Chain A
Amino acid sequence: GQNIDQPTEMTATEGAIVQINCTYQTSGFNGLFWYQQHAGEAPTFLSYNVLDGLEEKGRFSSFLSRSKGYSYLLLKELQMKDSASYLCAVTLLTGGGNKLTFGTGTQLKVEL
Chain B
Amino acid sequence: DGGITQSPKYLFRKEGQNVTLSCEQNLNHDAMYWYRQDPGQGLRLIYYSQIVNDFQKGDIAEGYSVSREKKESFPLTVTSAQKNPTAFYLCASSILAEPGNTIYFGEGSWLTVV
Contacts and interface: CB of A to CB of B under 8 A. Distances in A.
Interface of A: 4, 30-31, 33, 40-45, 48, 50, 87, 89, 91-93, 96-105
A98 B43 contact: no
Contacts of A31: 99-100
Given A97-B50, A98-B97, A42 B105 contact: yes
Given A100-B43, A100-B45, A103-B42, A42 B108 contact: yes
Contact of B94 (A98, A102, A103, A105): A98
Instruction: Give the size range of B's interface with the partner.
Output: 20 to 34
Interface of B: 31, 33, 40-45, 48, 50, 56, 58, 88, 90, 94, 96-108, 110
B91 to A, nearest CB: 9
A95 to B, nearest CB: 9
Nearest to B105: A42
